[in-house]
Chains A and B, each alone.
Chain A
Amino acid sequence: METLIILLIGILVTVATYLILSRNIIRVILGTAVFSHAVHLLILTMGDLKRGSVPLLKEAEAPYTDALPQALILTAIVISFAVTAFILVLAFRAYQEAGSDDLHELRGTNDE
């Protein structure tokens, strides 16, 4: 199972990297979103998969699965959401001001 998930992570990272390297700003943002999916899965996989029970003390029997990666991912999900929202609005504003969503055209040349 772990090997399979890591293979999936590899695919996600590849796709995300390719998207981030594009010129269109929306593709870049989508790339970061896919990247965070990959990272979340990676963190979870590092804590071993499908071993032990749900980390709810009163609901399940010991041994419990590793709860620490879960706490980390929970934080990461929220932060990546915040960042995605922020750069989306940034892209929207950049388009409003500069009239383009192409990062090559958005490149500033005035102060060189």
Chain B
Amino acid sequence: MFSVNFAIILPFIIAAFVPFIYRRFRFIHIGWFVMLVPITLFILLARLIPSVASGQTFTDTYQWIPTLDINFTTYLDGLSMIFGLLITGVGSLVILYSIFYLSTKESLQHFYVYLLLFMGAMLGVVFSDNLMVLYVFWELTSVSSFLLIAFWNHRKGSRLGAQKAMLITVSGGVAMLVGFIMLHTMTGTFSIREIISSISGFTDHALFMPAMILVLLGAFTKSAQFPFHIWLPDAMEAPTPVSAYLHSATMVKAGIYLVARFTPVFGGDQVWFWTVSIVGMITLFWGSFNAVKQTDLKALLAYSTISQLGLIMSLLGLGSVALHIGYSTESVIYTQATFAALFHMINHSTFKGALFMVVGIVDHGLGTRDIRRLGGLMALMPFTFTVAVIGSLSMAGLPPFNGFLSKEMFFAATVQISNADVFSLQTFGIVFPIVAWVASIFTFIYCMIFIFKTFLGPAQPEKLDKPIHEAPMGMLISPLILAAFVVGIFFFPNLLGNYILRPAMSSIYPTFGDAFNLTPSISAWHGVKPELLMTIGVVLVGAILYKILKKWKPIYGLFSQKYTFNTLYNNVLSLSEKGSGVVTRGYMTGFLKDYIAYIFGFFIIVVGGFLFYSGAFSMDISTNAPIRLYEVILVAVMAIAAFAMLFAKSRMTATLLNGVLGYSIAIFFVIFRAPDLALTQLVVESVTTALFLLAFSHLPDWKKEKTTIKTKWINGIISIAMGVLVMLIGLSVLNYNKFETISSYFEDAYELAGGANIVNAILGDFRGFDTMLEVVVLFIAGLGVYTMIKLKSEKGGDKE
């Protein structure tokens, strides 16, 4: 039995092998090998289509961190099936295309490793049932997207674009993570299926709304919704196959997936409805409006992608209203918005993928994608032109292409929703069809720009570096296949509807019973209805506006470049860079003294503060052991020696004073019934003193320290505070006898370890491992000493 976990893991495994295979078979383009991965997975998934279509779902659990409720659980249902097929299907075509797009001179092993990483991560996002696992894969798609955008990392634009995409999508991802944790707090589970089945009891929970907003932030950043859309145009610095794959067909649809997946969780809520549909509508309009003014073909497609993503997003929002109303034969009509969303998403992947590949061909063959330098390519690039026309007209929503069908359904859904009698839609609902219609006009205009400015009109060979020529056959295969789908879906839409979209609908509306009712029969002709009239209007107005484009284009000059979201992003970025620079330089001085002072200061404030705050200090001298006179003398000797060290003029004196301290402690060890310690201390102290003296013969004499009075005072205060604090803690701990001592256990040393000396028995037996590691420390220190001296003598210095 095919496991979905395997589908996620496979790309990662293959990615690990790519560099080796690349090295071994340099003469073959590594892409041929990599292409087998998505093809295999596509076939494996496609074999499951009939079972999924009949309502079956597949789950597989691999225990990961069960104590934290984090398991690698995969869930294959209708919704994830669509995405799985898109990821692997478009993935295969894109890799095929990339084989001809990227020459073997590029660092292909990196490219395909990143691409496989992305593919595995993206499959992980759509197949994971566990939210934590989903989050990990989600961020992994951002990381691989970052790597792919910056693939040509010698270009500044690539690096900046990658950074922008990373920062925006990852901040959204983190917000989403917080949302997931809130969901877990509410429902007690990370499993999406369990959340869906238990969420109805939590809609009044205080965390319900924050969780919804945070999850939406994740979805909106990833799917480039207004105002987070600014990363997508900059991401176009990536090689075109990447743009076609990540930034139009798959990764940017992760947000769509998330919204669709969470529709059963949050869908009945008014805030969800308004946020998703309004944000989607704004994105739809803003994207298409801005696409018109672009002169770079890829930027045009980027804005077009933003706009189309907004369209799908708003449809998901409109469709969620059905969950609010609840299941009835009347409310089924509203679910058609969701159906249209899924349908359009597939269509968008086909026509936009094809269009990106067309731009890639133009860019690759002619060295530019600036429409001011292009024109008249039709005659010399007939295949490319055909694909471009199919893709553009489908995008514009014209028959006989699949975009027409989903666009009609989109118009129908907006008209439908403006008649709904919930959420005061009867008053405000009219906004939806109007915005949809206006945005579609702009969509129509930029589609015309794409066709006419690039392929028609006079050719301008003098502005091109290379002669106009048709692309190699290999590069045309993938776009032609996609174009075939664009046309094929138009003629057989219900095949798609029944086998792919119907099971997905029942994933989004799990409470709606028979999914069959949710699947309308798609047809190109359904009589003269508002949606058809809207399409005709779009074509008429769009054509006129395209004709007089020059007259109204100055409108774009009205938008000041000072107040764009890009400026905001740049300012925030440079300000935070400057700010963190100032802060870091402020305290990272490079002086050991300062760092030590921070550590001590922190200790004094936190530990001392807590000691004071908790009132833990206590003192009781009544239980003290008696004091003899010679002990007082010894303490006095040590105290004097210690203070004398501070004022020692020569290093020799200081070292000897340290010796005095060490030997005095050895005497204390004798008094305090610790003969082993006394012996060890004597030996170690002797060797240490000798070592100091030895080192002195190689070190310069002490100079008078040039420290200011102020520094001395600060150091003095820190030192005294440390001393006092340690004293207070010591005194308090002495009085702390809430627990029995555990030492009595070791008094059986003779029976347990066969040693009469308890200390020795502890070191050599009870805590033998500790002693072994202690020896390791000694060994490493000795190794370090040896190496440092050895390194020097090799350079010809004197020996120690």
Contact = CB atoms under 8 A, between A and B. Distances in A.
Contacts of A46: 730, 733-734
A54 B661 contact: no
Contacts of A54: 673-675
B702 A14 contact: no
B759 A15 contact: no
Given A45-B734, A55-B673, A1 B591 contact: no
Interface residues of B, number: 98
Contacts of B782: 82, 85
Contacts of B784: 86, 89-90
Range class of the A interface residue count: 35 or more
A30 B655 contact: yes
B274 interface: no
Contact of A45 (B626, B700, B730, B747): B730
Interface string B390-420: 0000000000000000000000000000000
Nearest to A71: B762
Contacts of A103: 591-593
Nearest to A82: B781
Contacts of A91: 695, 699
Contacts of B763: 71, 74-75
B580 interface: no
A92 B733 contact: no
A47 to B, nearest CB: 8
Contacts of B674: 44, 54, 65, 70, 73
A2 interface: yes
A89 B785 contact: yes
A74 B764 CA distance: 12
Given A14-B723, A109-B590, A92 B672 contact: no
Given A14-B723, A93-B788, A4 B635 contact: yes
B514 interface: no
Contacts of B625: 1-2, 48-51
A17 B730 contact: no
Contacts of B730: 6, 9-10, 42, 45-46
Given A6-B734, A19-B646, A42-B726, A70 B677 contact: yes
Interface in A45-86: 45-59, 62, 64-68, 70-71, 73-75, 77-79, 81-86
Nearest to B662: A37
Interface string A1-39: 111111111111111011111111011111001100110
Nearest to A8: B635
Contacts of B646: 15, 18-19
Interface in B759-800: 759, 762-763, 767, 770-771, 774, 777-778, 781-782, 784-785, 788-789, 791-792, 797, 800
Nearest to A76: B774
Q: Which of A3, A48, A84 is the most central at the interface, judged by chain B CB atoms within 10 Å of its CB?
A: A3
B777 A9 contact: no
Contacts, number: 273
Given A11-B723, A53-B673, A77-B681, A2 B734 contact: yes
Interface string B649-684: 001001100100110010011011111110011001
Q: Which of B677, B720, B742 is the most central at the interface, judged by chain A CB atoms within 10 Å of its CB?
A: B677
A43 to B, nearest CB: 10
Given A9-B726, A103-B592, A67 B700 contact: no
Contact of A10 (B654, B726, B778): B726
A5 B625 CA distance: 11
Interface string B711-731: 000011011101110110011
Contact of A50 (B662, B673, B756): B673
B727 A9 contact: yes
A21 to B, nearest CB: 4
Contact of B651 (A26, A59, A96, A109): A26
A42 to B, nearest CB: 6
A79 B726 contact: no
A83 B643 contact: no
A13 B720 CA distance: 8
Contacts of B639: 8, 11
B757 A7 contact: no
Interface of B: 590-593, 596-597, 600, 619, 621, 624-627, 631-632, 635, 638-639, 642-643, 645-646, 651, 654-655, 658, 661-662, 665, 668-669, 671-677, 680-681, 684, 687-688, 691-692, 695-696, 698-700, 702-703, 705-707, 715-716, 718-720, 722-724, 726-727, 730-731, 733-734, 741-743, 746-747, 749-750, 756-759, 762-763, 767, 770-771, 774, 777-778, 781-782, 784-785, 788-789, 791-792, 797, 800
Interface of A: 1-15, 17-24, 26-30, 33-34, 37-38, 40-42, 44-59, 62, 64-68, 70-71, 73-75, 77-79, 81-86, 88-93, 95-96, 101-104, 107-109, 112
Given A30-B692, A92-B699, 6 more contacts: A15-B643, A20-B596, A45-B730, A56-B757, A71-B763, A109-B590
27 contacts: A6-B727, A8-B639, A9-B727, A10-B723, A11-B642, A12-B638, A13-B722, A21-B718, A23-B705, A26-B696, A33-B662, A34-B658, A42-B726, A46-B733, A51-B625, A54-B674, A56-B756, A67-B759, A71-B762, A74-B759, A79-B774, A81-B684, A81-B687, A82-B777, A89-B788, A92-B695, A96-B698
